[in-house]
Amino acid sequence: MKNIKLTIEYDGGRYLGWQRLGDSDKTIQGKIENVLSELAETKIEIVGSGRTDAGTHAKGQVANFKTTSNMDFLAMQDYLNRYLPRDIIVKELEEVPERFHARYNAVRKKYSYYVWNNVVPSAFERNYSYYYPGQLNVDKMNEACRKLVGTHDFIGFSSLKKTKKSTVRTIDEITIHREGELLHFTFIGDGFLYKMVRIIMGTLLEIGAGMTEPEYIDAIFESGIRSDAGMTVPSHGLFLDEVCYD
């Protein structure tokens, strides 16, 4: 039995997210499992590093599955990319140890969020960035980012309901780079709660717009109340760039 790791790129615009849904074939996981099952002539289930929301994209999603197939990896990759929709690409396959688990063994994830910051919208970036025409104070957003970096309980920056699981996460780095009219926000951390990056982004934009001050980050950590944080920005500006393992 082989344990195979997949590195996957996808445009999530027309899908209901990563996770397989029983009543829909519009998921990334479902599409890949269907093609793999046809290839192996038996039911294959894949394990992803984590869920991505409807509309979210990925440049480096990771998944794994087990199979008895002896097909050459290049031939398997060719088959997958031939029969998967064109907006889902398997970038790499490799055999990994039997105990490797794409979700439980992940130690760090990197996300990007893109904001088109210009009075005039973009015809080309509209599906891959959030259009925000107002002026933004990047210095104030950077000040807020410094407050977010570190180990904190991020429940106030999540759409999670009550949970017995820990909502403490560590963010190692948040950076903001302007690339012409495009603002590129990068988030690196050991894990992210449900809609956490999108809610942090909404909060940063409100701070950048002068609607609130960077110090309000501290108040959200203290209250732990979702409604105290900013809006949830749309998913189409969000990319899962990379999943890291020891």
179-199 pLDDT, tens digit each: 999 999 999 999 999 999 999
pLDDT for the residue numbered 76: 95
What's the rounded mean pLDDT across residues 193-218? 97
Instruction: State the pTM of this model.
Output: 0.95
Instruction: Report the topology of domain 2-96.
Output: Alpha-Beta Plaits (3.30.70)
- Tell me the pLDDT band of 25, cut-offs 50, 70 and 90: confident
CATH architecture of 107-245: 2-Layer Sandwich (3.30)
Please tell me if the domain spanning 2-96 has the same topology as the one spanning 107-245: yes
Name the more confident of 158 and 162: 158
Domains of the chain by residue range: 2-96, 107-245
Q: Is the pLDDT of residue 138 over 90?
A: yes
Query: Is residue 139 annotated as part of the catalytic site, yes or no?
Result: no
27: how many CB neighbours lie within 10 A of its CB?
19
Catalytic residue among 53, 72, 78, 228: 53
- What is the distance between the alpha carbons of residues 89 and 84, in angstroms, rounded to a whole number? 7
pLDDT for the residue numbered 194: 94
Question: Using an 8 Å Cβ cutoff, are 35 and 102 in contact?
Answer: no
